[in-house]
Structures are given as structure tokens and as C-alpha cells.
Amino acid sequence: MQTPDWVARGQPHIWQPYAQMKTATPPLPVVRSHGSRLELADGRQLIDGVASWWTACHGYNHPHIAQAVRAQLDAMPHVMFGGLTHEPALTLARRLAALLGPGLDRVFYTDSGSVAVEVAMKMAVQFWLNQGERGRSRFLAFRGGYHGDTFGTMAVCDPDEGMHSLFRGMLAEHDIVDLPRDDAAMARLDAFLETRGPQLAGILVEPLVQGAGGMLLHDPEVLRRLRRLADRHGLLLIFDEIFTGFGRTGTLFAFEQAGIRPDIITLSKALTGGTLPLAATVASGRVFDAFWSDDPSHALMHGPTFMGNALACAAANASLDLFESEPRLAQARALSSALAAGLAPCRELAWVRDVRVLGAIGVVELDRIDDREALKRRLVEAGVWVRPFGNVVYLTPALTIAPDELDTLMRAVIAVLRAQRP
């Protein structure tokens, strides 16, 4: 099929993410999306197993979100948030606070996940500075973690999977340790914090699933241990729910499954149902109170140009409507059983190391993937959009994916993995 003219003319001017531009398979031109389908320029339809990096929780083009964005576009697409405010942003803040529950009720908007984490880190450091405690600029973060691509966030990602060696000398020093998965590890971390604690601003973790760092799962007990450690050593606990938020793990927020609460939480991705860029860093009253002062220098020093974008806030409000009016969490839980049953046959393959599922996340971990580009091509030829990384093939479909589409998606993955060692 012929390449569309806009690809031939535009592609020489584009720089794709995470891609060796010389050797990577050219990106697939998409002309339309609907539900769990991507329509390519040549007319092919792919079933989407990724939901655009886990954002499109209601599937693509949900009419309720589209209508809300259209109405907002007519009224006011965007105004600066410095000195001005508007109904979509305030309504969304109020609704997020209500959903997050007591203690997480002050919302700071940004426009990407990485920046939301940067703001959480800045909040935590300034929380201490405003109370006269200097020298607390380090964070405790975890191996296998991923928090973004900016310089601040790269420094708290997994040091091997992340870009620590590439940017050595430019990244801040933090303490990246193993998650405390048992009592002995907890005791070791406790002893470490006895000496390191006074230099730390907080503990930063992706609750229940370390996503882009390898789709690694941990038990809610790990989060309860971290809460205990944070309390014992007087540290702020920050949950990065940019991946896990909005139903992905089977509850609206992952922290609910641990029965404890963080001091700061970051949200993005599915916040707008995957339609527009928006992120939020939500702080507890205790954190906010450290900024509430007659001293202007105690203000939080951050303010992105597109902060609180009205279109994005309208989309997010419409997305929250759908969590109220449609059975998203029940769908996520049903997906969990369907993924567990559907992916189980992968266990029989000699090159599969593990199959694991949590909520609407299905992961097939291989011993290695020699040629990811070839694997991706074979998956596309099988009619599905799945984007393996590292040694992992994962499915994070829209929570609304139809059972027959999910079935086709999983059968395609199994057939491709079975046909040859990737």
C-alpha cells in the first residue's frame, strides 16, 4: 500500500521518542481511533493492547468526553492560571480531593507526568526548607522504578534501567534501594534511615506496580511498611500513581488496596481519559500548611504556562463522570480474570519466565527479547498494537475493551510468542 504524502513529506522532519532514528521501524501512520481500535492510513485496523501508554481508559473517542471538550472549546480553551482561575479547574480539584479522600486535598496542576513528579519533589524539599530544616534534598526511591524523563525525575529512576550512566554528573544524588519485600529488608532499611533520614525529604514509590521500569508487582504490605518507615523517620511519603491511578489496578487508586495514604500523590495519564495532557500533584493539608505563611518566599515556586488548561480540565471532569456513570472498576476487575486466564498458556513456552496480572495489567516476561523491532512487526502483522520493552510484553488495554477484542488480542500475542523465540 502506498505511503501517504504527509508521511513522506513530514517524517524527515520528525524525531520519535525512545527511537534510534536510523534503524527503528518507521512509525505506523494512524488516521482514526475508536474504542479499542486504531485505523491505519492504509485502511488496516489494529486492536490496541496499550491504550496509548495506559491513558485511554474509556477507549478512544468516548462521546461524553468529546462533547465536553467541544463545549469548553467554544467557551474558553485556555487562560493563564497565574492570577486567574476557572470553573473546570476548580470543579476538578474539588472532585479529585473528594475521590482521594481525607488528607489529600490540595491540587497543583501541571501538563505531564514527569513535571508532576518534579513538583512533588520540589514540594517535599521546600516543605522542609519552609520549616527551617536545611539539607533535606535527597529522596529514597526504588530499583525498578520509573518516574519520568526530566533531569529531576531521571535521578530517581532505576539506576540501571534509567539513564544514570548516560547523564552521570548531571543527575542529583539520591538513595535508590530495593523495595522492602520482607521483614529483614524492612529492618535493613530502617537501620539505613536511622543515619540517612535527616538528609532525606521523602520516600517516592509507584504503588503496587513499577510500570515502565519493568511492570514489576509488589504486595500492598510493602506500601504499609513504607508508611511505617516514613512515619518513624519523619519523612514525607509520595506515591506516583501516574500509571496506576484511575482504575488500572482494579481500584480507583492503587493506595486504596494497602489501606494507607501518602502525603503527596501524582496523577496524569488516564486523568483526562487519554485525551489531553494534564497532570496533578495533590498534597495533604500538613504539606500545604508548611507553605501557608506571611512570608512570600514560602510560596511554592512553580507555574507552567499551560497549568490548569481549561480544555484538559473539562476532559478530566468528563472522564470522572464516566467513572461514576459506567462500571469502569467492575470492568477492570473482569479484565483481571480474563487476562490471567487468557495469558496463562504463555507459561508453557520455554522462553517465558513469568506471567503476572494485576487489575487491567497483563505481563508476559521473557528470559530475553533479542529483536524487539521484529517482534513488534510480527504483532502488527497479527493485527494488534502491542509495544514490548526490555524483556517484557505487556497488555494494558482500555478498561472498556470488548471481550471478543481482548480474546483476539491475547490469541495474537500467544501465537506470535509461540511461533518463534523473539
Ligand X SMILES: Cc1ncc(COP(=O)(O)O)c(C=O)c1O
Q: Residue 404 in contact with residue 339, Cβ under 8 Å?
A: no
Report the residue number, 54 or 128, with the smaller CB distance to ligand X.
54
In the bound state, the residue with its beta carbon closest to ligand X is 113
Binding site for ligand X (CB under 6 A): 112-114, 117, 146-148, 206, 211-212, 240, 242-243, 268
Report the residue number, 112 or 317, with the smaller CB distance to ligand X.
112
Query: What dihedral angle (degrees, nearest 10) is formed by the CA atoms of 335, 336, 337, 343?
Result: 90
- Tell whether residue 274 is among the known ligand binding residues: no
Which is catalytic among the residues 60, 109, 146, 394?
A: 146
Report the residue number, 130 or 275, with the smaller CB distance to ligand X.
275
Report the residue number, 197 or 202, with the smaller CB distance to ligand X.
202
146 among known catalytic residues: yes
Residue 137 DSSP one-character state: -
- Tell whether residue 394 is among the known ligand binding residues: no
269 among known catalytic residues: yes
Which is catalytic among the residues 111, 263, 269, 394?
A: 269
Report the residue number, 186 or 204, with the smaller CB distance to ligand X.
204
263 among known catalytic residues: no
22 among known catalytic residues: no
- Tell whether residue 321 is among the known ligand binding residues: no
Contacts of 261 (CB under 8 A, 6+ apart): 101, 103, 104, 227, 255, 284
Query: In the complex, what is the shortest distance from the CB of residue 209 to ligand X, in angstroms, rounded to a whole number?
Result: 8
Residues 110 and 114: their CA atoms lie apart, in Å, by 9
Query: In the complex, what is the shortest distance from the CB of residue 271 to ligand X, in angstroms, rounded to a whole number?
Result: 10
Please list the alpha-helical segments (H only) found in 179-243: 183-196, 220-232
Please tell me the chain's helix, strand, coil percentages from 3-state DSSP, rounded to the nearest 5: 40, 15, 40
- Tell whether residue 269 is among the known ligand binding residues: yes
Which is catalytic among the residues 240, 263, 376, 394?
A: 240
- Tell whether residue 88 is among the known ligand binding residues: no
Nearest to 129 by CA among 281, 283, 299, 302: 299
Q: Residue 413 in contact with residue 405, Cβ under 8 Å?
A: no
Residues 113 and 259: their CA atoms lie apart, in Å, by 24
Residues 360 and 57: their CA atoms lie apart, in Å, by 10
Residues 181 and 222: their CA atoms lie apart, in Å, by 6
- Tell whether residue 240 is among the known ligand binding residues: yes
- Tell whether residue 53 is among the known ligand binding residues: yes
Contacts of 392 (CB under 8 A, 6+ apart): 214, 215, 363, 364, 365, 366
Binding-site residue numbers for pyridoxal 5'-phosphate are 113-114, 240, 304-305
Q: Which residues are part of the catalytic machinery?
A: 18, 146, 240, 269
Binding-site residue numbers are 53, 113-114, 146, 240, 269, 303-305, 387
